[in-house]
């Protein structure tokens, strides 16, 4: 078993997340993704980026607020 850490640059992390590097910097600054500064270089652990991805998973029912039903409408939005 290897204890080696897989390090990602902010550009690699952004690509892995499908985001811009600017958004990755914002997530780091907001404390949502841990990052490490070595001199002038910022690196992220791949495992922690993957944990962030898994933590962002939407659970069934989490988006109900985006399609509220009104009285008289069917549950599928038709009515």
CB 17 within 8 A of CB 53: yes
- Backbone phi and psi for residue 19, each to the nearest 5 degrees, phi listed first: -125, 175
Chunk the chain into consecutive blocks of 10 residues (it has 79) and report each block's average pLDDT, rounded to whole numbers.
Answer: 86 98 98 97 98 94 85 55
- Run of H or E including 41: strand 41-45
- In terms of Cβ atoms closer than 10 Å to its own Cβ (0-12, 13-18, 19+), residue 22 is exposed
> What's the predicted TM-score (pTM) here?
0.75
Q: According to the model, what pLDDT value does residue 75 have?
A: 55
Q: According to the model, what pLDDT value does residue 73 have?
A: 54
Q: According to the model, what pLDDT value does residue 44 have?
A: 98
CB 12 within 8 A of CB 6: no
Q: According to the model, what pLDDT value does residue 69 have?
A: 79
Q: According to the model, what pLDDT value does residue 78 have?
A: 56
Q: According to the model, what pLDDT value does residue 17 have?
A: 97
């Amino acid at each position: 078993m290897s204890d080696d850490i897989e390090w990602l640059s902010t550009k690699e992390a952004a690509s892995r997340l499908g985001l811009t590097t600017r958004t990755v910097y914002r997530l780091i600054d907001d404390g949502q993704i841990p990052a490490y500064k070595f001199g002038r270089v910022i690196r992220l652990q791949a495992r922690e980026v993957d944990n962030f991805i898994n933590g962002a998973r939407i659970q069934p029912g989490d988006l109900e607020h985006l399609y509220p039903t009104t009285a008289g409408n069917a549950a599928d939005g038709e009515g």
